Amino acid sequence: MQSGYNEQITVDNKNGLIIAVDVTQDANDQKQLIPMIEKTQETLQNALNISQEESEQIIQNTDILADNGYSTNQTIHNIYDEGKYSILIPNKQQATQQKDCLKRKSQKQNNNKDGFSKHNMIKDEENYCYICPENKVLPVQQVYPGKYNDRIIYYTHECSKCPSKNICLTNKMTGKVLTDYTSQAKELLAYKFETPHGQKQYKKRMPMVEPRFAYNKYALKYRQYHILGLENAKMQQTLMATAQNIVKIHNLELKEQSKNKILIDLT
């Protein structure tokens, strides 16, 4: 039997220091957002020697950036209801657009069907419909209320005579069907992500977070844990994060000394 582990880290987006770490055996990140926020708060409380209320205040006044893998209906609903945290998480459509922007031209596949995917259609909020690239209207046809969000079905009967039907539809489809899973909480989160402030903040995430994983794998060749057991894996992850922070702090101090030297030389 082979053990699999899921590494979690929290990184500050100013200096790239790792603030909190954890290791789980969950297959994905969907249940890790709130636990990592709480771990980060605990670390700040201990490191800064402040009260729980003060550490909570710091977290509440900080934008928390996470990728779409942390987004679940229940998590978003709970965060919205409590109103404690300022979260920036892209929905699936926004995450896809972010990834497309980062791809090189050579990495982008020329798939004609992509032009007819939902994120390439215009959503008309006022008239409750989507408009496809061929200017066909897909109105709301069915709504299924759910616990955390509503499932909304859009489709049209105008596809049979469309010149692009062979590109847009598969062999078994007679019409284009789109599905939205929406709620007030998800709509507010999506709107917040699209604001200039949201876009500016979220751009800071990837250059700060992803290199921390890459450094272990490619610079240190640390691709697996060397002691079995979840608690041992957590210990190793903590040691690796501590080592990275020491190197990072050293480099920051050298950078600061270099700045001071330039200032002295100029006077």
Rounded to whole angstroms, the Cα distance separating 219 from 79 reads 37
Domain definitions of the chain by residue range? 6-96+190-266, 109-182
What pLDDT, on a 0 to 100 scale, did the predictor assign at position 257?
Answer: 84
What pLDDT, on a 0 to 100 scale, did the predictor assign at position 264?
Answer: 56
Residues of the chain with pLDDT under 50: 1
Task: Specify whether the backbone of 177 is left (phi greater than 0), alpha (psi in -120 to 50) or beta.
Answer: beta
What pLDDT, on a 0 to 100 scale, did the predictor assign at position 113?
Answer: 53
What pLDDT, on a 0 to 100 scale, did the predictor assign at position 1?
Answer: 42
Rounded to whole angstroms, the Cα distance separating 143 from 186 reads 16
Q: Which residues contact residue 136 at a Cβ distance below 8 angstroms, ignoring those fewer than 6 apart? A: 156, 158, 159, 162, 176
What pLDDT, on a 0 to 100 scale, did the predictor assign at position 108?
Answer: 54
Rounded to whole angstroms, the Cα distance separating 266 from 129 reads 63
The model's pTM: 0.79
Rounded to whole angstroms, the Cα distance separating 175 from 178 reads 10
In the block, which residue shows the tokens 């903040």? 201
What are 34-64's pLDDT values in tens digits?
999 999 999 999 999 999 999 999 999 999 9
Cβ atoms of 174 and 164 within 8 Å: the answer is no
